[in-house]
Amino acid sequence: MKTKVELLKELVSIPSPTGFTQEISAWIRSYIEEIGFTPVVTNKGAIIVKVPGKSSDRARLLTAHVDTLGAMVREIKADGRLKLTKVGGFSWNAVENETCTIHTRSGETYRGTILLHQASVHVYAKSGQVERSDDTIEVRIDEVVTKKEETAKLGIEVGDFVSFDPRFEHTASGFIRSRHLDDKASVALLLSLLQNVKQNKLQFPVDTYFYISNNEEIGYGGNSSIPENVVEYLAVDMGALGDGQASDEYTVSICAKDSSGPYHYELTSHLIQLAKQNDIAYKVDIYPYYSSDASAAVSAGADVKHALCGAGIESSHAYERTHEKSLNATYRLLEAYATSNLL
């Protein structure tokens, strides 16, 4: 079995922009089967694993999403380069100069770099002042192409997915920096919890569902195929860091409210009490520009108590970073929650 960081490294290495998650979903299904569980795949491509508990009358659900930010080819330009359209919410400057992969529908892949069209300061005097937008950002393909027809001949078409390189690094000081920690860090923690169930015969008081969603970055992951007996729904997603935020990279972040509104008061309080009782380092926070699979489920009409927690992720939706301490604190809270009684 793999450690949390090993799982995370493996997960971020597999491209999975929203809408292009088939490869990583296959990897996760295979790993879950290796652990000893039988995953079920929904029509939308989410993965659900049931861990039987002592009682089946009511159940809880823990979810994390495996889809990430990315892009699609919007246009092949006259000079053979590519214009893009975003998949998910991010700023173009957050991926400017990032290396990437173009995934054609035939299965061929090509390498490239995301650049400002006026990138050269030796040619464009106002390069630094140009607005980064769909019209000024492009992909320079690492193939000998100088016109549209040559790029098209490679098999690249409008609608092909473009994934961003993760650039994963685990430092001696315990930091993990990589793209797509949102939300593959949480997926790694849920897989670690499943491992622990099998390795150490961890017992849950009620049936517990592990739900790996694949459409969260576009707003509707985890909002369907929720088993009828689920009464508590915990989204495991990143803690947002920045000015005015309480969360950090060394604790588990428990969200009291995001842009969708407050989370369930009693269930959120339960997480806080579990952290206190188990001496787990935590912060309670409000995320101003954020929503989760839990809020998507409630918006879709799910009659559940919903809550949100996760590792603190610095520079979200850019080149992200967290620390082993935050991963460990989040894992400990997840285990404490999964083994606690329902409200």
Query: CA-CA distance, 179 to 101, in Å (whole number)?
Result: 14
Tens-level pLDDT at each residue, the chain (343 residues): 899 999 999 999 999 999 999 999 999 999 999 999 999 999 999 999 999 999 999 999 999 999 999 999 999 999 999 999 999 999 999 999 999 999 999 999 999 999 999 999 999 999 999 999 999 999 999 999 999 999 999 999 999 999 999 999 999 999 999 999 999 999 999 999 999 999 999 999 999 999 999 999 999 999 999 999 999 999 999 999 999 999 999 999 999 999 999 999 999 999 999 999 999 999 999 999 999 999 999 999 999 999 999 999 999 999 999 999 999 999 999 999 999 999 9
Feature table: binding site: 65, 182, 217, 237, 317
Quick count: other Cβ atoms within 10 Å of Cβ 135?
A: 11
The token pair that represents 298 in the structure block:
């409630």
Q: Are 114 and 170 in contact (CB under 8 A)?
A: no
Q: What φ, ψ does residue 190 adopt, rounded to 5°?
A: -65, -40
Feature table: binding site for Zn(2+): 65, 182, 217, 237, 317
Q: Are 190 and 64 in contact (CB under 8 A)?
A: yes
216 has catalytic annotation: yes
Half-sphere exposure of 16 (CA within 13 A, CB side): 32
Spot the catalytic one: 216, 249, 324, 335.
216
Task: Kindly write down the DSSP assignment for every residue of 51-111, as one continuous string.
Answer: E--SEEEEEEEEEEE--B-EEEEEEE-TTS-EEEEEESS--GGGTTT-EEEEE-TTS-EEE
Residue 93's region, left for phi above 0, alpha for psi from -120 to 50, else beta, is alpha
- pTM of the predicted model as reported, rounded to 2 decimal places: 0.97
Structural domains of the chain, ranges and CATH numbers in brackets: 4-68+180-339 (3.40.630.10), 70-164 (2.40.30.40)
pLDDT of residue 1: 86
